[in-house]
Structure formats: C-alpha cells, structure tokens
Copies of this chain bind each other. A is one copy, B any other.
Amino acid sequence: MSMEGRGLLVVVSGPSGAGKGTICKGLLETKKDIVVSISNTTRLPRDGEVHGKNYFFISREEFLDMISKDGFIEYAEVYGNYYGTPRRYVEENLHQGRDVLLEIDIQGALQVKEKYKEGVFVFILPPSMEELKARITKRGTEDEKEILRRFESAYKEINYVSRYNYFIINDRVDTAVEKLRSIITAEKCRVDRFKMKLIGQ
C-alpha cells in the first residue's frame, strides 16, 4: 500500500449533456491507476451501450432488492428510471488503496458527498447553455418534450456547482481531461489530506 493508504474517491458529475462521460473516457484511456465504478440502472440500453461496460442493466425488482440491503452508496430515480452505484466495488477498491472514479448525476453526487466528505467532487460545465442544448438535441434519442425537460433541468442544476470542490468548463475535451487528471494529481499532494501521516514521521 502506498503512503496514501486509502484510495481517492473521484466523483465526476454535472448536468446531462455537459460531456462528463466523454471526459471520464478520455481520462481512463491514459490513466491506468484508477478504476471506474459501473452503475446499475433499470433503464433500457441506448444504441451501442454494453451491459457491464456502460451500465449493469438490471430489473426494477433487482434494484429495489439492492436498495433494501443498503447495497448502493447512492441511487436516484431520474426521468422514471433508477440509477445507482453499488457500494461493494467502491469500498473494496478504496480500502485496497485504489482510486475510484464515479461518473454520476448531481442527485447522486450530493448523496455520495454526505457519506464520503473526503471525496473529490468535480462538476463539469458546458461551455455555454446554447452548446448544452445542442448536445442534448444531437444525442437524437429523445423526443421534443424530453429534450426540453432535460434542458430546463440542466439549467437549474448548474447552481449546484457551489457544492462541489472543482469545476471544469468542457470547452475542449483534451483540456478538460488534462484538468481532471491535474485535479487528481494535486489532491494527492494536499497537506490536509495526509497531515496526520506527515506529522508522525
């Protein structure tokens, strides 16, 4: 185990369409010393989504059973579907000193923050609201009403940035990925995080 002991919990969040998925993917392509937690969801797979890669697609019954067994560190119902982060995978990896990346929505991130105050909470902002609208629209899998609902929700959600530790404006993916990588590197250098260990030396 490294000097750091317990791994770092990195929570990447933000409004739908801000590009948090793309940024996390970019990080994972080059950074191999972080594991990603795969969420469970009851919604149906979108085109190209793979079970066990994008999500674990499970039934409503299975999801409710896991809730009853305290099996999630966060879960939420969004647009009528359940999404949740299984507790066991996160806990085991952090305990073994591995950093864990969560890419989750804002409701979920705020739940995680209640229990994991030492986590690093990163909010992804779209470069502008117009851009956000374009991205939500371009996804092309939702009808008009769904798009409008998402856009309004995203607009309200942006105020939650104040509850996070860091923000990244996603105007260029490579720059945004580099910022996320820097945040993780910097957090490991924070004196507050390891004060007890250093003083003891």
Chain B nearest CB, measured from A92 CB (Å): 27
Give the CA-CA distance A128 to B28 in the complex, in Å. 33
- The dominant DSSP class at the A interface is helix
| Cβ–Cβ < 8 Å partners of A123 in chain B | 191
| Cβ–Cβ < 8 Å partners of A192 in chain B | 165
Q: A159-B199, A198-B162 are in contact. Are A167 and B186 (CB under 8 A)?
A: no
Point out which of A122, A161, A168 has the most chain B C-beta atoms below 10 A from its C-beta: A161
Number of copies: 2
Q: Which size bracket describes the interface of A in this complex?
A: 20 to 34
**Would you call A185 and B179 a contact (CB within 8 A)?**
yes
**Would you call B165 and A195 a contact (CB within 8 A)?**
no
- Flag whether A114 is at the interface (Cβ < 8 A): no
Residue of B nearest to A3 (CB): B169
CB contacts under 8 Å to B, within A148-164, are 159, 161-162, 164
Q: A186-B185, A186-B186 are in contact. Are A191 and B165 (CB under 8 A)?
A: yes
Residue of B nearest to A168 (CB): B189
Give the contacting residue for A165; candidates B165, B168, B190; CB below 8 A.
B190
Give the CA-CA distance A179 to B187 in the complex, in Å. 10
| Cβ–Cβ < 8 Å partners of A185 in chain B | 178-179, 182-183, 186
CB contacts under 8 Å to B, within A131-157, are none
- Flag whether A82 is at the interface (Cβ < 8 A): no
Which positions in A face B, CB cutoff 8 Å?
122-123, 159, 161-162, 164-168, 178-179, 181-183, 185-187, 189-192, 194-195, 198-199
User: Can you list 6 A-B contacts (CB < 8 A)?
Assistant: A159-B199, A161-B191, A165-B191, A178-B185, A186-B186, A186-B187
